[in-house]
Structure 1
């Protein structure tokens, strides 16, 4: 049995899947066959880094985007060597270039893998699994199957859900784009067409600047509940730690008050609030886990929109572009919610209930694009693989329906709460348990830890 290869299947070849594969290929010394299943032809890119728009910049400077925490300058060195010797650590670079870097890291890791380690990427889609005593069989859309001892669900983000309205028939219209990253989202428009983007977060910003890059001159409306845009990054000095998990307030109210007071005092001293928020990064997961279930729900209901725009910021260059669009009146931001749609041959009249007043404002647009953010509730996904896993009670959502119920080692819990020895995950599906889990910094660390867990001998489980 010792000489039989360990078979691992990774479902999803975006950033998360590529980094798990990278660390498995680099560290495996025993016989290993690694299957990486991804429907897109380019591995390592996913949605975020597969963009074709040069205006889509990383939200983190190059000096902090290494694929390896133990080699923090790896991406920067790659950029200087392969692309541009003038790049600096504080440069915000195009996401498409970062996707090329991750792809190269994976290819290099496969090339230097140990002799008994085989890498078998598949351009295909996993649609079902069937567990058995030795592991499981993975069924692919092509009709082929893969047998594996361990399976990693590196699923990334799913499309957003349709915003609630009284009459949802418009969501079947060709003028409505439910998935902002679909190929037709920004095609087929006249440059002067008015467009409505539902949402005002990072996805809305991405689509607004992409429209600008392709020469769009028409009005772009953004509508969200609070009407807040992500703030811009600025370079600040490191802020001394003012909270520790052991001494931090254990209630959301107390925690919120202490952070707000620290921000106010830092601004009074001439510091930047960003440095205060950034100082929380190393302990955010612990602070989240210390909250009661009720406080986590209150955070999601009342604090989340404000946390998101302060924590998940855009590059200065993108912020400048958005600022110019706002000043010119090309981008119009509204706080409120979509109340109703009325479509005719000329376009769509969208009725928006404005926040605080309840007044109805009617926007006349040619296209409506849903930019509200990824759906997280695994009870609602209709992807064949997720439906299949649910039907077998192999997965369950976390208590907040932010992702999956996942153990500390990355193993997925089934419907009875039993920790799997077969299914694992990382990144977005762990949001309910960790909250801070979708950035490169967290994903690369989870990939390292998960690769170690997976390489334990199946016979020792």
Structure 2
């Protein structure tokens, strides 16, 4: 049957309404996406920004949606400002927040505000306030920000713009698109060829579910990084009093973060360091000098942080592989350190004999008819696997950076379309130094960018608050200057 002109016109109008347009589309409304929006809104000029985020709130993401006060930042306030040009911003905000009656538990620590390790939920409030202030400023320029609460499941890019398809079938069209997807925690991320680990495991941050366990249950934890630290805090807050066994390949725990004095930036004075071996030799030398003077070894190590991007970027693929294979576990445990109160809790559990660390690689699991979980591990130095039975299991194996393994619609579609390709060593996705993505053929996109954790392969450290804040400012300036 032939359709009338009025019907066709109505269908075209509905189709046009289904495609919303904006200047900039941001996928991800956690720290990365929110900080980019802040920097864009502060730029003079009128622009429309849409952030696609499934959560009900912007500014929190995975990391800062925690509601338990025991889940804190792993850096003190002086290190965690979202303002690249003002390192005291969080300290001042936190001082006002505490003075107004927020976070009363902070008084128990009896240290200066700059040395406090705020709960992640409190830090999320800080990010949200800076975003609200930027929205108010942007409105004076005629700019706007809108939260599209939906999941992005597909994306297409051309020389003229970016189109995003949402789970509900609606589409967004923008001049530029930015992947600010944040991190994919292994404990919460569906993975291709899954071993079933997550299906059998308790969420590391779910205190309510842990409260349903027998208080004396034997809990097995896979992974010994900061997620494990959070898991132990969660168990403690849930009233757990039973044994905890932690299994990780190297059996290394995060060191506690202390507040060492300033140390000379020795890498700024020596640009001759190229290889992993040279870097390790120099760092050990500086740490030994510090300890000989009675100064914490963390002082010289902390100066390395500012140069990691440069060193990683100039390294060859062979050198990067050497670092990941031989140095990474020690880098993670020495650099990604535990907040003091959490470290104290772990130390108490070890001293009480309730927490033990095993150097063993996880190989698989079986849920027994009793409801218990049996894991298969290969202990270091042993050829044959061992079997360990526990009443509950927690996956604390960290972050999944290989987008080929993330079983979510958008990463899969981007890879299928050839709009992205894996980053160096399959860490995140490949991009130009400007943040513009590289497609499967290595072409630099004119319209599609990324920032934060997806750029792990480019900079190695691309997840810390200071990294994200600096990238957000640089990318905002770049997007505003382009047409």
User: Counterparts of 2:482 and 2:436 in 1: how far apart (Å)?
Assistant: 15
Go from structure 1 to structure 2 and tell me whether the alpha carbon gap of 1:391 and 1:149 turns closer, same or farther (over 3 Å shift): same
Structure 1 partner of 2:274: 250
Given candidates 9, 12, 15, the residue that maps to 2:31 is 15
Under a length normalisation based on structure 2, what TM-score does the superposition of the two structures give?
Answer: 0.87
TM-aligned CA deviation for residue 215 of structure 1: 0.7
Contact 1:6–1:31 (CA under 8 A) maintained in structure 2: no
Contact 1:67–1:75 (CA under 8 A) maintained in structure 2: yes
Structure 1 partner of 2:404: 379
Structure 2 partner of 1:50: 65
TM-aligned CA deviation for residue 331 of structure 1: 1.6
User: Counterparts of 1:386 and 1:352 in 2: how far apart (Å)?
Assistant: 31
User: Counterparts of 2:355 and 2:272 in 1: how far apart (Å)?
Assistant: 41
Under a length normalisation based on structure 1, what TM-score does the superposition of the two structures give?
Answer: 0.91
Q: Report how many residues are paired.
A: 447
Go from structure 1 to structure 2 and tell me whether the alpha carbon gap of 1:194 and 1:78 turns closer, same or farther (over 3 Å shift): same
Residue 83 of structure 1 aligns to a residue whose secondary structure is helix
Go from structure 1 to structure 2 and tell me whether the alpha carbon gap of 1:7 and 1:169 turns closer, same or farther (over 3 Å shift): closer
The superposition leaves residues 249-288 of structure 1 with CA deviations (integer Å, 9 ceiling, x where unpaired) of 2222222122222222322222211011101122121111
Structure 2 partner of 1:165: none
Contact 1:245–1:286 (CA under 8 A) maintained in structure 2: no
The yes-or-no answer on 1:237 pairing with 2:261 is yes
The superposition leaves residues 129-158 of structure 1 with CA deviations (integer Å, 9 ceiling, x where unpaired) of 233453122111122221100011001111
Structure 1 partner of 2:172: 146
Structure 1 partner of 2:113: 88
User: Counterparts of 1:220 and 1:80 in 2: how far apart (Å)?
Assistant: 37
Residue 205 of structure 1 aligns to a residue whose secondary structure is helix
Contact 2:243–2:355 (CA under 8 A) maintained in structure 1: yes
Contact 2:45–2:141 (CA under 8 A) maintained in structure 1: no
User: Counterparts of 1:393 and 1:182 in 2: how far apart (Å)?
Assistant: 37
User: Counterparts of 1:156 and 1:173 in 2: how far apart (Å)?
Assistant: 20
Go from structure 1 to structure 2 and tell me whether the alpha carbon gap of 1:350 and 1:378 turns closer, same or farther (over 3 Å shift): closer
Residue 277 of structure 1 aligns to a residue whose secondary structure is helix
The superposition leaves residues 185-212 of structure 1 with CA deviations (integer Å, 9 ceiling, x where unpaired) of 6464222221111000001111111111
Structure 2 partner of 1:37: 52
Go from structure 1 to structure 2 and tell me whether the alpha carbon gap of 1:303 and 1:125 turns closer, same or farther (over 3 Å shift): same
Structure 1 partner of 2:92: 77
Given candidates 100, 116, 124, the residue that maps to 2:150 is 124
The yes-or-no answer on 1:104 pairing with 2:119 is no
Q: Which runs of 5+ in 2 are unaligned?
A: 1-20, 101-106
Residue 117 of structure 2 aligns to a residue whose secondary structure is coil
Contact 1:220–1:332 (CA under 8 A) maintained in structure 2: yes
Q: Which runs of 5+ in 1 are unaligned?
A: 163-167
Given candidates 422, 434, 456, the residue that maps to 2:481 is 456
User: Counterparts of 1:370 and 1:172 in 2: how far apart (Å)?
Assistant: 7
User: Counterparts of 1:206 and 1:194 in 2: how far apart (Å)?
Assistant: 17
Go from structure 1 to structure 2 and tell me whether the alpha carbon gap of 1:266 and 1:421 turns closer, same or farther (over 3 Å shift): same
User: Counterparts of 1:195 and 1:330 in 2: how far apart (Å)?
Assistant: 10
Given candidates 217, 220, 231, the residue that maps to 2:244 is 220
Contact 1:248–1:255 (CA under 8 A) maintained in structure 2: no
What is the Cα-based RMSD across aligned positions, in Å? 2.3
User: Counterparts of 1:266 and 1:116 in 2: how far apart (Å)?
Assistant: 53
TM-aligned CA deviation for residue 373 of structure 1: 1.3
Q: Name the structure where helix makes up a greater proportion of residues.
A: 2
User: Counterparts of 2:270 and 2:314 in 1: how far apart (Å)?
Assistant: 10
User: Counterparts of 1:180 and 1:272 in 2: how far apart (Å)?
Assistant: 31
User: Counterparts of 2:431 and 2:210 in 1: how far apart (Å)?
Assistant: 36
TM-aligned CA deviation for residue 341 of structure 1: 3.3
User: Counterparts of 1:343 and 1:404 in 2: how far apart (Å)?
Assistant: 35
User: Counterparts of 2:149 and 2:234 in 1: how far apart (Å)?
Assistant: 28
Given candidates 198, 203, 221, the residue that maps to 2:227 is 203
